Amino acid sequence: MTMITTEIRHFEDTAVAVISIDNPPVNSLGSQLRVQLGEALTSTIADPLVQAIVLTGTGRFFSGGADIREFNTPKTGVRPVLREIISIIENAAKPVVAAINGIALGGGLELTLGCHGRVVSKEAKLGLPEVKLGVLPGAGGTQRLPRLVGVSAALDIIVGGEPLTADQAQACGLVDQVATGNLQDDACAYAVSIVQGTRARSRIDPAPLDEPVDEAIFDNARQKAQRKYRGCTAPLACIECVAKCLSADLSSGLAYEAEQFARLVNGEQSKALRHIFFAERKAVKRVAMGGPSLTIRKVGVVGAGTMGGGIAMSLANAGIPVMLLEQSDAAIKKGWETIQHNFAGNVKRGRFTESQVQQRLQLIGRTTRYEDLSDSDLIIEAAFEDMAVKKEIFTRLDSVCQSDAILASNTSRLDIDEIAAVTSRRDKILGMHFFSPANVMRLLEVVKGAHTSNQVIDAVFELAGKIDKTPVLVGVCDGFVGNRMISHYTREAYFLLEEGASPAQIDGALRSFGMAMGPLQMQDMAGLDISWAARKRQAGTRSPDLRYSCVADRICEMGRFGQKTGSGFYRYEPGSRKPLPDPEIDLLIALCAQEAGIIRRDISDQEIIARTIYALVNEGAKIVQDQIAQRPSDIDVVYVAGYGFPIFRGGPMFYADTIGLPTVLETIKEFHERFGDYWSPAPLLTQLAQNGGKFSDL
């Protein structure tokens, strides 16, 4: 398969070889392409008739970088490796100019750093996102970029991981020219001017970088990295590699970078981050199922509370008109004021300008009349989590909305099929479970009911992409994927409280594991009354033979619902979200343990982590077996994107694979013997462990 094409162009009486990378969809620099590119460069450099070379890409991409599917395989070592190709370019006697036609990321951008000039299209995006995959730019990016743009700008680009626009790249010195006409013509002209001596070729100085740099720049970069990439090691390695430029020549710096890259790419964190990278792409990919497509142009939202307001903001951010409905003028006024306040916070943080906020606010209409939703293509119900309330809303929506409108519930637990049964359009009913705050959190559980059509699912997945959400398809059961699993996670936290652990110890142990917050602090943030309502609803189906902790119920009976009431498992000072230990709760826990006949003991952090995380894994295996999730990796996406599971561990199912399923199963069997039927091992987990399999095999 030909991935590299070469065309000789005669430009101002100068022969320019235009070498094009053609490896759709992203022009990745896999082993086969590198062989062909190396041959094309070598032959054109040796050709006496060629005086200059322009390197470009086809389609939307110059190059998306390395083929990460080849990482940790023999193909990564196929010669020439990318570092060698860049060296060929850098040392060529003839000028090589990069014509960056679109997106140049990772190894694609590193390829251009070896060139003697960089000309970009106005639409170009350039970046080094390797840090997000748990590695660092391994083909010279950490050494050449600081020598080109300076230490501060290089740290922003490498550690930040976000792409630059063409204008931003030119402003910092990353590129030499933004094309005003035809990109290839401008790049050829640039190369010819080097040949003619009217423009100097860009060269990376191999000496140590002679730039006075305050050590505070690196300290600040480390602090920012620890906030943005909590628990990840790659950002700190990136910073150390950039710092190496100040003390090492290019050759030594490249050797150091290669050592650090090899260490990271073979580490568990990079494998976990790459797993999530591919898992997200599998989760969001939909195969066209045939039939008429549905287009969502206008959306109605029922409920202007925390969730409804956040959903409306997400839609308005994507330029989609929204009609927000509430029961009363007072309720809609309160919801509108909250939306305005949240957008004002975005302005203060520099995310939007005032004019951008005004554009978004103008897209959000407000009403108290159901009839005003009649022209919406999709209506999302975000009302109180009560089946009777939701049935009443859907009955009214079904009567006033156009016949082809999609009706969705933001329920986090309730039966979508039961809600659909009160309508005349069961094929157009589904769940859209957003996560709070909906305008920030990227996860969207898309709940397919028994009768939901594939066209409806496709339309909602397309909308999710527009509003920057990561949709994961799930089936109907109590709690779907995320909350069905979280019930077992918090159950173990409640049991551990009664057995001797404190709220602070449980939350601290799980934060040390890498969770964004512990289960009890998370409950306080979400509102203890929400899970309390679910437990009361489930009470009639709960076996009296199974252990039940009443700690959380007792806390709710005291009127302590978490942060919103100033107290829950912790107490909170006015205006503060910092959890403070409360002796009153410690006494309550001890009393509940005494009433249950539990003798309290010292509990290790290791036991806390094993019981809570393995509870997720065991229930996750049952969810896959029940076909509520399509694949284990979807569960990992749900937990990383929606529940604060550490991304550097790859999600609960991938984490279990890294521990080894036989080891996980043996521990769960021990818990089964000690703690009873809650810990009955999932049959799928048992099968995989006994056969030497992994969740990632499924």
Active site residues: 110, 130
Q: Residue 18 pairs with which residues in a beta bridge?
A: 7, 54
Side-chain half-sphere exposure of 662, counting CA atoms within 13 A: 4
3-state SS class at 374? coil
Round to whole Å and give the CA distance between 285 and 630. Answer: 12
3-class secondary-structure state, position 502: coil
Is the CA virtual torsion 673, 688, 470, 421 positive or negative?
negative
Q: How many residues does the structure list for the chain?
A: 698
| Residue 491 CB partners (closer than 8 Å, separation 6+) | 549, 615, 678
- The DSSP 8-state label assigned to residue 15 in this structure reads E
Q: For the chain, what percentages of helix, strand and coil (3-state, to nearest 5) are there?
A: 50, 10, 35
Structure-block tokens of residue 241 = 């590699």
Rounded distance between C-alpha atoms, residue 246 and residue 558, angstroms: 61
Which residues, 6+ apart, have CB-to-CB distance to 168 below 8 Å?
none
Here the contacts of 584-592 (C-beta below 8 Å, separation 24 or greater) are: 585/503, 585/555, 586/502, 588/551, 588/554, 588/555, 588/558, 589/497, 589/498, 589/502, 589/551, 592/498, 592/549, 592/550, 592/551, 592/554
Q: Which residue, among 486, 564, 79, 558, has the nearest Cα to 305 in the 3D structure?
A: 564
Short-list 305, 364, 384, CA closest to 338: 305
